[in-house]
């Protein structure tokens, strides 16, 4: 089966079945693709799946951020951590 055939079959699914497939695929992606996801504990994986479900069920509770906003936010966090570490010494 080609990638195009798989894509076509997935797109042909009713929305509810497509959501079920996506959730199943997310849970098995590392087995299928051989990704290096094995370094996560079961607790971490469960947390990630729970947060994914929360987003799927309530996307209005989340704020989308572009790359520049994320870079700025993480820059502030790095500065804050660096300041706390230097003052703890």
Range of the domain at 59: 3-63
Going from the C-alpha of 46 to that of each of 23, 41, 49, 57, 66, the distances in angstroms are: 12, 9, 5, 16, 26
Question: Is 57 a domain residue?
Answer: yes
Q: Could you read off the pLDDT of 36-53 as tens digits, one per residue? A: 556 788 898 899 889 989
Question: Is 70 a domain residue?
Answer: no
Question: Is 19 a domain residue?
Answer: yes
Task: Tell me how many domains the chain contains.
Answer: 1
Question: Is 29 a domain residue?
Answer: yes
Question: Is 85 a domain residue?
Answer: no
Which has more pLDDT, 69 or 33? 69
Q: Could you read off the pLDDT of 11-22 as tens digits, one per residue? A: 999 999 999 998
Question: Is 51 a domain residue?
Answer: yes
Question: Is 47 a domain residue?
Answer: yes
pTM tops 0.85 = no
């Amino acid at each position: 089966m080609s990638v195009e055939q798989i894509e076509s079959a997935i797109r042909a699914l009713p929305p509810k079945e497509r959501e079920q497939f996506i959730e199943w695929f997310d849970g098995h992606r590392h087995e299928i693709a051989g990704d290096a996801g094995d370094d996560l504990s079961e607790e971490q994986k469960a947390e990630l799946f729970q947060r994914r479900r929360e987003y799927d069920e309530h996307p209005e509770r989340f704020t989308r951020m572009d790359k520049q906003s994320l870079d700025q936010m993480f820059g502030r966090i790095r500065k804050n951590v660096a300041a706390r570490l230097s003052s703890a010494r």
